[in-house]
Structures are given as structure tokens and as C-alpha cells.
Amino acid sequence: MSAPILQLQGLCKSFGETEIIRGVDLELAPGERRALIGPNGAGKSTLFHLISGNLPPSAGKIAFQGREITGWAPQRINRLGLARSFQITNIFPKLTVFENIRLAVMRKQTQPTAFWRRVDRLPGLREATEALLERVRLQTRAKGLAGELSYSEQRSLEIAMTLASDPQLILLDEPMAGMSGEETDYTMELIRDVTAGRALLIVEHDMDVVFRLADRISVLVYGQVIATDTPEKIRQHQGVREAYLGEEVAGEVAS
Amino acid sequence: MRTSTSLLLGGVALLAALPALLTAGLLNAAVQMLIAALFASAYGQLAGRAGMLSFGHAAYFGVGAFATVHAMDALNGAGLLPTPLMPLVGAAAGLGFGVVAGWFATQRSGTAFAMITLAIAELLHALAPQLKSLFGGESGISVMRTPAWGFNFGSTTQVYYLTLVWVLLSLALLYFHTRTSAGRLTLGLRENSHRLRFLGYDVHRLGVSAFAISGLFSGVAGALQVLANESANYVVFEAHVSASVVLNSYIGGVGVFLGPALGAALMSFFGYAVSDATQAWLLYQGVLFVLVMMFMPEGLVGLGGAAARRVKQLGASRAPPLLLLWLLAVLLLAAGAVFLVELLQRLCSQDYRALARAAAGWPPVTMFGQSWAAVGLATWIWPLGLLAGGGSLLAFAQRRLQMKEAQA
């Protein structure tokens, strides 16, 4: 196996007396699609916050592409090639859909904060923005305000903004939440498509999606990874069945 | 697009023609209006587009002003900075101070940010009277506009054109900024700075840059005021300077590029026209601010849009009479309110109470060049009648509107 793109070692996070993440070790291979599952309150979102720099860990190490990034500011981590989406939609609601994606794409420009060049004259920016819009099927909504999109359209917008920086590792926090069946299918194909050649770490409650999309699955329970394996093995895993899936769900998935 | 361009060109042409149309006194007022407009536009860059509510913008205006007054004094028009280029000194000082103050202030957002900006301005305000050599003490610092480039800057007209050129140039640059990637990021900063961070942007640096640009143009406005007045005094650091720019900008409307400028120009014109005639000017300013915030949060520039929407909704033939009716009602209400305020202000003044004690009664008051009995129907019927008339007209207009809406 090649050197891991993401490596977590003994990662802990407590809020006061409460320990949310209790010593997580995790390795992600380049190009791997990994799902992170676990019951509510297991610490999945907190783990994402630690990896993306939104929260500093209490103990432990995070390495991305062999480089230790523990305690780095979010924007530095992002520039290394690690992008994330948010569980609660996190967009620019009063700007147009086009502007939302353009702000995300602009970061790839050589001088993204230039105040001496008109934004509509920046090379390739419009094309790259339109290509992303089309990819998430929002081209007809480009001129509308992002806050006026439907919920699932906003989720698509999130994914587009996450992709904009052409990251090596993508963290998606429940991208399908609130989507219809058809939208879920489309979004799953989209994620499969756009993560080809990239590593993906995804938190998702839709087990159907998880088992179809992931190369491997890690199960987080009470702040600890209790198992990491292929979808088939996870289905059979006795500890996972007891701790998380429950016999009913596990049976359903296995059938 | 074409209408807005022709409106813009018409506005500039009108501004350029003003010296031929106005008396020297009014032209001086126009200079002050232009400076206030630029200051408010610089403020709008921060409050409107970057979403940072500064309560201490007098600091950047004042720093620009004092830097300019010292530069004029030291250089005396010689060297690379003749009189017409002096605003560059104000710009540099505003920018420099904006970077330093902004670096601290933008560490926080919301209320904490507002309090830091207030504290920085109050710090200068408290310090300035102590540092006589720097800020000139009570009497301030006076300088002369040295002739340059064939102009002697002795006439109000020449000062007006100097101010106009700098204000238009600054507004053009501020507008250009909204079209750049830095300007678009400024909007992102207002909308969701948290998300920007996860798109790879250094939010603090963006904040400092937005703050410093606002400081720069505030500094230019301060410099222009020094050029116009040929002096600088530490009263520019007073809290009411910071307060006015907030009020003026929001009365105009910070959501639109020219909103703050129009609001500031309008309010400083009223200030000039009315402040001699009334002692309640600050009250009117405050009441207007409260009314605008309550009924038109988009500011006065929002009125144009609202009127246009009505015309579109009701049709070009049915909307104008209704809008006129509405305007008349507002004017009547305003007239009634002004009458009442002026009357009460006179009756409550110390002079009047002394008079009343001496006369052991209610002597008449002088108002609008006439004598009015303090007690008596003939006086009080006016404000009450105006208010009642305006109120019922407004109610009538509202009913008509609902009827026509139902028809449309």
C-alpha cells in the first residue's frame, strides 16, 4: 500500500469534561473512497472539524500527504488540497449561485485577492465556474440567489464549492441529507465521478449510499474507531452489528 | 444600463456646472457635501459591502486631515506634492492607520469589532488635546493653499473643482474595487466569512484589506476638508463625526453603491440649510434615521426602487397619482411634526421660561418670522390639523392602494 494521504494518530478532543473523540487512529490511502459511519453523537462531525482545522485537537496528530497539519488554520489546510463540505448548509445565501461558485473557483487564480484586476477579466474563471455549475446541474439557477435554492440544490452547490479547489482529499459531511431518491442517485454518481483519482472521506446516514460508494468503511462509536474494513466484511462484523447497525438494519443490508 | 450611464453623465455634468449656478456660500456648502459624500462612501465600503459596522470612522478622516495639514505646512507646495496632490498624503495616512487599526479590529467581528473601532477613535479623541504640537490644541493648525499648476486656489470655484475631481476619482476607484476579485471577496466576507476560510482564504487579511481601503478614502476626505478649510482641528475626532457618517450612510442606504454618498450629501445640505433656522437639527436627524430604519431599511435610495415596483405592478397610468398622494401625505405629516417640534422647543427653552415667569403668563413666541400665541386654538390648530390631514391622507392612499392591488 502506498503512503497514506491522511493519517490520524491518537486523536482526542474534549469539550471541558466531555470526551468526544477518544484516541482515533485512521489511515486513508490516496484515491480511496472511505465512508465514516456511526450512531448519532459518535463524533463524526467533530472528527471532520479536527481534520479540516475548524477545531484544534486536544491530543494526537494529523498528517496530510505525510505533512503534519495539527493545529493549522483552515485556509492553510485547504490550500494543501483538503476541501470539505458542511453538514449544515454553509453557502453565501445573499449572493448569486454563480458568485458562490466563482468565489470558490477564484482561489485557484494566481492572485485571488487582486484589487487591480476586474474579476470578469480573470483568465478562465468564467469557464471554470460555468463548468462546475453544469456538473452539479445548477446552470439554469446561476443568476438566482443561493439562499433561494431548494434544500437539495443548496447541497449540490456545497459539493460544487468543495470541488472548486481541485482537492486531493474531499471530506463530505452528509451530502445527501434531505435529498429525494432521484437526487440521491444523481448526487452519488456525481460524487463517484468527481472523486475519481482523489481520496474521499464521507459521513452519510443513507446506508445504501455508503455500501455502494465506499471502498472501505470505518465505524466510529463513542469517539473510537471500532472497525475498518470493506463493505462486505463490515456487514458481517459482529461488533458493528451490535454497536451500531442493529440486527434489523444489518439484515436488511445483507439481504 | 444605458439609462444609468446617461443618469451618471448627467449628474457629473450638473456637478461640473454648479459653480456657474450657485452663489459662493452655496458653493461652499457643495464642497462640504462632496466631502461628506466621499467620507460616507468610504464608510459604505466597510459597513455595506464588508459588513463591518465601524463606530469610530472619524479616526481615519482625522488622521488623513492632520497628515495633510502637516504636509502642507512642511512642504509649502514645493517638491513632488503641490497643493492639488495633497490628498495623496491623506490617502497614505488613512491607509497606514487603517492597516494598523484594522489589524486589531478585524480580529473580532460584530459587537466586539464595533467596540474596538469606537475605542480606537476615542483614544485619538482623548489624546489629541494633550499633544499640542501634533494637533494644535484648541485653536487647531492653520495652513495656506499654495498656488500650483497655474491655479492660486484663492476662489471657492477652484477649491470646488479640486474637491470635485478628487471625489469623483475616489468614487470611481471605490466602484472599480467592487468589480475586482478583492471586491467580490469583500461581499463573501460579509455573507459568510466562515465558509471563505474553508475555501482557502485568509479571512483576517481580507478583513484588514477591506478596512484599510475604507481608511484610505476616509483619509482622502479628511485631506479635502483641510484643503477646503485651510485648517485642521482636533474636533474632527469627536464622536459625533463618527456618528454622522453612520447615520448618513444608513439614511442613504448602504446596500447601494451611491446610497451613502447621496444620504450624506442630502443630510449635510439640510444641515447647512436648516441648522441656522432651528436648534432641533440633531433631533430631526435622529428622527429621520429612526423612521428610515423602521419603514425603509434599504434607505432613501430604496424609495426609487419601491416606486418603480409600484409603477410596474399598477401600471404607468394608475400608479403616479397614488404616489403623489402618498408624497403629499408624507409632506403634510412632516410639516405638522416640524411645527410641533419647533413650537415645543421654543416653549421649553430656558429663555421662554424666564420670560413666562417674569410676565406671570404665557407670552407669545416668534416662529417662522411670525408671532404665535402660546395658548390658543389659532396656534395649535396648525400642527394638529397638519398631522390629522396628513394621517388621514396616508390612510386614504393606503386604502386606494389596496383596492388597486386587488384590481390589478
What are the pLDDT digits (tens) for B320-339? 888 888 889 999 999 999 88
Q: Under an 8 A CB cutoff, do A99 and B182 touch?
A: no
pLDDT (tens digit, 9 = 90+) per residue, B195-205? 998 888 989 99
Domain final residue pick, B247, B281, B302: B302
Half-sphere exposure of A178 (CA within 13 A, CB side): 13
Residue B3 lies in a domain: no
Strands A6-15 and A59-64: antiparallel
Question: What is the total count of domains within chain B?
Answer: 2
Name the percent of chain A lying above pLDDT 90.
24
Asked whether residue B275 falls in the same domain as residue B323, the answer is no
Residue B120 lies in a domain: yes
CA–CA dist B269, B84 (Å, integer): 25
Per residue in B282-306, is it b (16+ CB within 10 Å) or e — as a string?
eebbeebbeebeeebebbbbbeeee
A161: contact with B, CB 8 A cutoff: yes
Asked whether residue B172 falls in the same domain as residue B321, the answer is no
Burial (CB < 10 A; 0-12, 13-18, 19+), residue B28, is: middle
Q: Under an 8 A CB cutoff, do B200 and A78 touch?
A: yes
CA–CA dist A115, B148 (Å, integer): 32
Burial (CB < 10 A; 0-12, 13-18, 19+), residue B312, is: exposed
Asked whether residue B375 falls in the same domain as residue B273, the answer is no
- Average pLDDT on B366-379 reads 78
- What is the dihedral angle through the alpha carbons of B108, B110, B114, B120, rounded to the nearest 10 degrees? 0
Asked whether residue B106 falls in the same domain as residue B236, the answer is yes
Domain final residue pick, B238, B272, B302: B302
Which residues from A are below 8 Å from B200, CB to CB?
75, 78-79, 107, 165
Which residues from B are below 8 Å from A52, CB to CB?
198
What's the mean per-residue pLDDT of chain B?
87
pLDDT (tens digit, 9 = 90+) per residue, B203-221? 999 999 999 999 999 999 9
Domain final residue pick, B302, B324, B340: B302
Q: Under an 8 A CB cutoff, do B191 and A94 touch?
A: yes
On the question of pLDDT at A2 being above 50, the answer is yes
Asked whether residue B17 falls in the same domain as residue B108, the answer is yes
Strands A33-37 and A59-64: unpaired
Residue B307 lies in a domain: no
CB A155 within 8 A of CB A187: yes
Q: A255 pLDDT band (50/70/90 cuts)? A: very low
Task: Find residue A13's DSSP bridge partners.
Answer: A21
For residue B5, give the C-alpha cell.
450611464
Question: Considering only alpha carbons, which residue of chain B is nearest residue A53?
Answer: B198
Angle (CA) A183-A187-A191 rounded to 5° is: 175
Q: Which domains does chain A have, with CATH numbers?
A: 6-254 (3.40.50.300)
For residue B359, give the C-alpha cell.
410676565
Domain housing B204 = 9-302
Residue B326 lies in a domain: yes
On the question of pLDDT at A1 being above 70, the answer is no
Question: Considering only alpha carbons, which residue of chain B is nearest residue A146?
Answer: B191
Asked whether residue B187 falls in the same domain as residue B322, the answer is no
Among the listed ranges B22-26, B248-252, B265-269, which one has the minimum average pLDDT value? B22-26
B204: contact with A, CB 8 A cutoff: no
Asked whether residue B149 falls in the same domain as residue B291, the answer is yes
pLDDT (tens digit, 9 = 90+) per residue, B256-297? 899 999 999 999 988 888 877 788 888 888 888 898 888 888
Q: Under an 8 A CB cutoff, do A115 and B177 touch?
A: yes
Asked whether residue B206 falls in the same domain as residue B260, the answer is yes
Asked whether residue B120 falls in the same domain as residue B67, the answer is yes
ipTM higher than 0.85? no
B213: contact with A, CB 8 A cutoff: yes
Q: Give the domain CATH number at B233.
A: 1.10.3470
Neighbours of A34 (CB within 10 A): 21
What lies within 8 Å, CB to CB, of B133 at 6+ separation is: none
Which residues from A are below 8 Å from B183, CB to CB?
115, 119
Asked whether residue B196 falls in the same domain as residue B56, the answer is yes
- What is the dihedral angle through the alpha carbons of A214, A220, A224, A226, rounded to the nearest 10 degrees? -70
CB B68 within 8 A of CB B86: yes
Asked whether residue B215 falls in the same domain as residue B336, the answer is no
Locate all alpha helices (DSSP H) within chain A, ordered by sequence: 44-52, 74-80, 97-106, 125-135, 151-163, 181-194, 207-213, 231-236, 238-240, 246-254
